[in-house]
Amino acid sequence: MKQIYLDHAATTPVDKEVFMAMRPYFDQDYGNPSEPHWWGQEARKAIDEAREKVANFLGAKTQEIIFTSCATESINLAHKGLIEAIRETQDAKRKSSAPHIITSSVEHKAVLETCRHLEKMGMAQVTYLPVDKDGLVKVEDVEKSIKPETVLVSIMYVNNEVGTIEPIREIGETISQINKLRMENGELKIYFHTDATQAIQYLDCQVAKLGVDLLSLSGHKFYAPKGVGALYFKKGTPMVRQQDGGGQEYRLRAGTENVPYIVGLGKAIEGVRSQGSGVRGQVEKLKDKLIKGILKIPKVKLVGDSKKNAPHIATFLVDGVEGEAMLLLLSEKGIAASSGSACTSGLLEPSHVLTAMGYRPEQAHGSLRFSLGQGTNDEEIDCVIKVLPEIIQRLRKMAPKL
């Protein structure tokens, strides 16, 4: 049976060229980059080159890139590290109220749980902004929520469950206007973080254009391996490291560098840069075809505005069917997709993203996400369009009339 992988938002395969670039750093150039000998310096050079590639991609300086183990770690460091650093300066000034963070209710758990942790520890107060029916955060809501204590705004670039592209540039502009006033008054600036994990492959991630101070990313969403990520932090952003130890990564992330994986991340991000918008167009065309085909099934709805969404994600709500059952029967046909159903979450809660968008839990239980990749082809989409109606029909026949 042909296998059709349409879960690229969960993870991508490692690209062959990326894998080849990584290989020598396992058993040939295996030195510890902190050592002065030849082996160490070869590894150091490789990390430097990878850092330069990431910096080039983001339009940043090399000193502004820290390698981590994944986007979750980058996010933890960005939020906790910034809040800790700001609290240190606040304590010095004997200010008592906790710093304020603004984020959205549709962020990845990495952001939401980090914010909840900071709240629980009494280290920060957090506002979780609502979204509209398409999953969009309103720029006015960000603006209205800003208080004198606000030090961090954290909004994702592309939503991983439904593909909504958040108005990062607009939020960045708004914050920069407010910061101008704050600077004049000698007040603390507001820092802006974006989780760009789902955006790297297809969207412009130049940090200056976005107006962000902090940006998190993960390698395995764009054909680098799992276990490596990066954090961009604009020069001058206060930061206390969260992993203590040696002086690696500009003293902001201790621990011997994961050299081969860092090399892989560099190679992959260079690949994204060189492929330009060609792949984006091709993926978007296939996604449109998939949407057109699937929407022919009665009582199936597309989540969000597909014209404005990221090119690789299409999420549907299927009435009267449970998501995991669909995944199971799709899997039997060799097709891999994903769902926001409670039964797939392990937490027994329906997707927090869909419920924040105003969908009822029973609608969220019937959600089905397809996420395309650079290898997705016409034939695969045809197959899904052919197979899915039968699966939905079968499951609907099984369900009680309510």
Q: Quote the radius of gyration of the chain (alpha carbons, Å).
A: 22
Nearer to another protein, 120 or 401 (CB): 401
**In the complex, least distance from residue 101 CB atom to another protein, rounded to whole angstroms:** 30
DSSP label at 219?
G
The residue to which tokens 């011997």 are assigned: 256
Question: Do residues 51 and 304 lie in contact, with contact meaning Cβ atoms separated by under 8 Å?
Answer: no
If residue 279 lies in a helix (H) or strand (E), which one and from where to where?
Answer: helix 278-294
Least distance (Å) between residue 349 CB and another protein:
8
CA distance 243 to 114: 15
x/- site string to another protein, residues 221 to 240, per CB under 8 A? Answer: --------------------
- Distance CA(320)–CA(400), nearest Å, equals 9
Q: Which is nearer to another protein, 1 or 92 (CB)?
A: 1
Per the residue annotation, which of 70, 115, 343, 383 is the catalytic one? 343
Of the two residues 20 and 399, which places its CB atom closer to another protein in the complex?
Answer: 399
- Closer residue to another protein, CB minimum distance, 122 or 346: 346
- Give the one residue of 91, 187, 362, 378 binding another protein; rule: CB under 8 A: 362
Q: Is 393 in the site for another protein (CB under 8 A)?
A: no
- CB 348 to another protein: min, Å: 5
For 362, the token pair is 């029973």
Give the total residue count for the chain. Answer: 402
293-332: contacts with another protein (CB under 8 A): 320-325, 327-329, 331-332
Q: Is 343 a catalytic residue?
A: yes
User: If binding is defined by CB under 8 A, does position 353 make contact with another protein?
Assistant: no
CA distance 108 to 199: 13
For the bound state, the minimum distance from the C-beta of residue 211 to another protein, rounded and expressed in Å, comes to: 40
Q: Which residue has the tokens 């981590």?
A: 68
Torsion angle (degrees, nearest 10) of CA 305, 308, 312, 318: 0
Closest separation between CB of residue 392 and another protein, Å? 12
Q: Which of 105, 76, 53, 107 is nearest to 253 (CA)?
A: 76
The catalytic residue positions are 343
Point out which residues bind another protein (CB under 8 A): 1, 3, 320-325, 327-329, 331-334, 336, 341-344, 346, 348-350, 361-362, 365, 395, 397-402
